[in-house]
Amino acid sequence: MTIPFQNLLDLPEGAGYRHRDGRASVDIRRQGDSLAVTGHCDSLMRRCLFYEEEVFRRQVREDSLLQTVEFYKQELVRIRSETEQDITEVKTEFKQRFNPVKISLIAFIAGMASGIVLTVLIKRRLYEK
């Protein structure tokens, strides 16, 4: 649409030009000392609505993912604290048990002592008869 500039200046207040080409339209109006130009396009409106809905869907998905991540963070903290408690209990159990070398030494000494006692008793019985 081609409009001479003088024609735009000669427009009365509130009057304007409108041109439509397919789905696009342009509206030019005089408002005081300035011109107001407004353009519309149906396909752009549909595209804007599509992107607004897409942004909304993604925000909802992001919010649900953030909630899921927060849930798993709390689960991880809970599991770590339980694991630390289990490790502490296991360490406590190991501290209460005897040293295996000490047990082996005591068993060896007890075996030697019982062997000596049995040998002495058996020899006495054999020589008494």
| Whether 68 and 108 share a structural domain | no
- Domain tally for the chain? 2
Range of the domain at 111: 103-128
Q: Is there a contact between 8 and 30 (Cβ–Cβ < 8 Å)?
A: yes
Is residue 44 in a domain?
yes
Is residue 96 in a domain?
no
| Whether 64 and 124 share a structural domain | no
| Whether 74 and 123 share a structural domain | no
| Whether 56 and 110 share a structural domain | no
| Whether 10 and 72 share a structural domain | yes
State the DSSP H helix or E strand holding residue 26, giving kind and residue range, or none if neither.
Answer: strand 24-31
State the DSSP H helix or E strand holding residue 29, giving kind and residue range, or none if neither.
Answer: strand 24-31
Q: Is there a contact between 37 and 28 (Cβ–Cβ < 8 Å)?
A: yes
Is residue 78 in a domain?
yes
Cα(33)–Cα(97) distance, rounded to whole angstroms? 97
Cα(30)–Cα(9) distance, rounded to whole angstroms? 8
| Whether 123 and 84 share a structural domain | no
Q: 117 pLDDT band (50/70/90 cuts)?
A: very high
* Greater model confidence, 24 or 86: 24
* Greater model confidence, 106 or 31: 106
Q: Give tens-digit pLDDT for 62-107.
A: 999 999 999 999 999 998 888 887 777 666 665 556 788 889 999 9
| Whether 107 and 86 share a structural domain | no
Q: Is there a contact between 26 and 8 (Cβ–Cβ < 8 Å)?
A: no
